[in-house]
Chains A and B, each alone.
Chain A
């Protein structure tokens, strides 16, 4: 039972344009959501997060949007840069759970 789903295995975007990565979840108890970025041969690194009491969180070029009614979150990267090419994982947790549930990941490729 995949509680966190990233339905697009890959995404290709032109440099300078907006990249939008999507994530859906099924467990309404999740109250905290995170995005991680992973380069080949490296561990994932934390990118940005959002609490369920918010619907938007912004950090520089990265913005995460949360739509609780649709159980959907998205990561926007504007403008996209070649260094953004990586695999992006969304993750979710609920208070007291101590652990994260990850999606399958989306491979983002930024074309020059």
Chain B
């Protein structure tokens, strides 16, 4: 059974803080993804990685960076958190064929 875990379910941070969200998958998937979910906007891709140390920008990468030092771990970094980054963050992994992705439970981040 595929398992994708995220480091926190709920997180409250102050404006300007550096925030790390971590994601670990146990299925040896090549691809890992970070999304944010906002009401009325669906799931929007922030960054994805198709291999260790490789990353590609998604649709909304501004204000975010990522790190993938090991195949099973993909981190999302908010260098200086802002209130408009308050959202639900979802990590996913997938083998790429046939495109199915497996999601973690999400991290509800609030920036005050």
Q: Which of A36, A45, A51, A98 contacts B48 (CB 8 A)?
A: A98
Q: How far is the CB of B105 from chain A (nearest CB, A)?
A: 5
Q: Which of A9, A34, A51, A101 contacts B100 (CB 8 A)?
A: A34
Interface size on B, residues (CB 8 A): 26
Q: How far is the CB of A95 from chain B (nearest CB, A)?
A: 9
Q: Which residues of A contact B101 (CB under 8 A)?
A: 46, 100
Q: Which of A6, A36, A99, A104 contacts B33 (CB 8 A)?
A: A99
Other 14 A-B pairs with CB < 8 A, given A44-B90, A49-B98: A6-B42, A9-B40, A44-B43, A45-B103, A51-B98, A89-B42, A91-B43, A98-B31, A98-B48, A99-B45, A99-B58, A100-B99, A102-B42, A104-B42
Number of A-B contacts (CB under 8 A): 58
Q: State in angstroms the CA–CA spacing of A6 and B48 once bound together.
A: 24
Q: Are A44 and B103 in contact (CB under 8 A)?
A: yes
Q: State in angstroms the CA–CA spacing of A72 and B102 once bound together.
A: 24
Q: Decide yes or no: A105 and B45 within 8 Å by CB, A49-B100, A99-B33 being known contacts.
A: no
Q: How far is the CB of B68 from chain A (nearest CB, A)?
A: 14
Q: State in angstroms the CA–CA spacing of A59 and B45 once bound together.
A: 28
